[in-house]
Structure 1
Amino acid sequence: MKVLVATRRTQGRRTNDFHWCIEGELVRIGEVCRKDREDPDGRCRCGRGFGGLNSHKSTTTAMIADTPLSYDDYVEAIRSSLQQQGWDPCENCAAEEAEDLLALVADWPVGSIIERRLDEVVVRSLPVE
């Protein structure tokens, strides 16, 4: 299954890049706070980051990886991360988020590095063939 994982690759391409996640951990796209809602380069950084499901830290770069995870395990990883962070861990919410993330990466090749600018997620770098 193709999913998003944290990566250091291409870090530094933007001067405000950061990587505080565990390399290779599953990531999600979190909500944007009021401060950063209009500016992905805001001080909070949430408008340009991907959140690590294990570390609960963030990174500005994510990679599309092919993993042996089952769909149910992926949903559970999202659900349990939300619960650990104090969010509503409802399984339907986690399943909906999993579906959105899977759809997001479906058409991009494994190894692609992506970045986020508020609601826009774009490829920063394609894999070398």
Structure 2
Amino acid sequence: MLQYFVSTHRTQGQRSNDSNSIPETEVVDLASKSHDDPDHPICGCARSFAGITSRQTTTTAEIVESETTPLEYIDRFHSALVALGFPDDRDTRADAVNGAVELLLVAARWPVGTVVERRGDEIRVRAWPATT
């Protein structure tokens, strides 16, 4: 089973600058940063994840688990980059592999159901999975 990040509405509103314009459970990537201030009043790039399909942003992501293979997951990132206009070449494939693997390694740190937030270059736990 593969663990990875998807958009979630859970814990939205804990911070005054929370936002989520992504469909629930869309696979997310890190948004590109133009600065390092996660609380910048105009630009939320340093606190956001970006949906790989919608390219919309969210400040929260949740770790899920599925039978998606690592190759299928990487292919989703590659397809998203090509859809954005990047050439379908070795460099784009390498960028997709690097970005996807980085996020898989981070997601493997915590249990499924953990909600995280981005604060600049850090990804932090915002809420642990609910226990039954």
What TM bracket, shorter-length normalisation? over 0.9
Higher mean C-alpha deviation, range 49-58 or range 86-95: 86-95
Q: Tell me the secondary structure at the aligned position of residue 19 of structure 1.
A: coil
Separation of aligned partners in 1, 2:19 and 2:87: 27
Name stretches of at least 5 consecutive residues in structure 1 with no aligned partner: none
Deviation string, structure 1 residues 66-109 (Cα, Å, up to 9, x no partner): 01211111111111112222345511111111110111111200
- Equivalent residue letter for 2:108: A
Query: In the alignment, is residue 68 of structure 1 matched against residue 67 of structure 2?
Result: yes
Question: With structure 2 as the length reference, what TM-score do the two structures score?
Answer: 0.90
Q: What secondary structure does 2:5 align onto?
A: strand
For residue 26 of structure 1, what is the aligned residue in structure 2?
27
Higher helix fraction (1 or 2): 2
Change (3 A) 1:76 1:45: same
Identity between Structure 1 and Structure 2 (%): 37
SS in 2 for 1:94: helix
C-alpha distance after superposition, 1:36-69 (max 9, x if no partner): x131122121110000011110100000000121
TM-score, length-scaled by structure 1: 0.92
Structure 2, unaligned stretches of length 5 or more? none
CA RMSD of aligned residues (A): 1.2
